[in-house]
Amino acid sequence: MRKLVWVLVGLALVWGQAVPSSGFFRITETRSRTVSSPGAWRYLITPRTQEARRYWKEMVGSWRWRLRAGLEVKLGPLVLRHSPRGLLVRAGCKTFAPQCFDRPSLPPGFSTWKEELMLVDLYNALSEALADAQKNARPLPATLTLSQLARVVINEKGFVKAEPVGWKP
């Protein structure tokens, strides 16, 4: 089943169509009304369903462990790494590819094909939110929060900084 998912994704990419999405993630867009940053855009990516939240909790736990160990975590268009200076962010893959993700280690009972679908949907959500954030990051930077993992500040030139959300390195 896992190979079938990647074959379908590959065919969609070859024919220039959007990568199919399963609707596991929700993007919430808001504008700041604070005095210090009026009009700044904020994006929040969260799992949508109970099943997605269960998978997301395990995936985030695995990625947090990797970050605490000082390893990179590839999340498609984003790559995170923890250093003594804090959480670092850089651009990842511009197009979808399986090697653009670090596979989280999931416990028994979690199906790998659903994990693959979640990674495809995460790529779609991150790409959409990042593109919109870079477009709207004028004159104030935009903020993208990946639920329970990281908050990334973005300006029109790219990534500015990242910080952990819901955990301490």
- The encoded tokens of residue 103 equal 């596979």
Is residue 42 situated within a structural domain? yes
Q: For 89-109, what is the mean pLDDT?
A: 88
Is residue 124 situated within a structural domain? yes
Put simply, whether the predicted model's pTM sits higher than 0.85 gets the answer no
Give how many domains the chain has, as a whole number: 1
pLDDT in tens, 2-33: 554 444 444 344 333 444 557 899 999 998 77
Percent of the chain with pLDDT over 90: 45
Is residue 169 situated within a structural domain? no
Is residue 128 situated within a structural domain? yes
Rounded to 5°, angle at Cα 127 from 121 and 132: 130
- The encoded tokens of residue 34 equal 């604070």
pLDDT in tens, 145-160: 999 999 999 887 888 8
Of 70 and 157, the one with more pLDDT: 70
Is residue 63 situated within a structural domain? yes
Residue 14: which domain range?
A: 2-164
Is residue 37 situated within a structural domain? yes
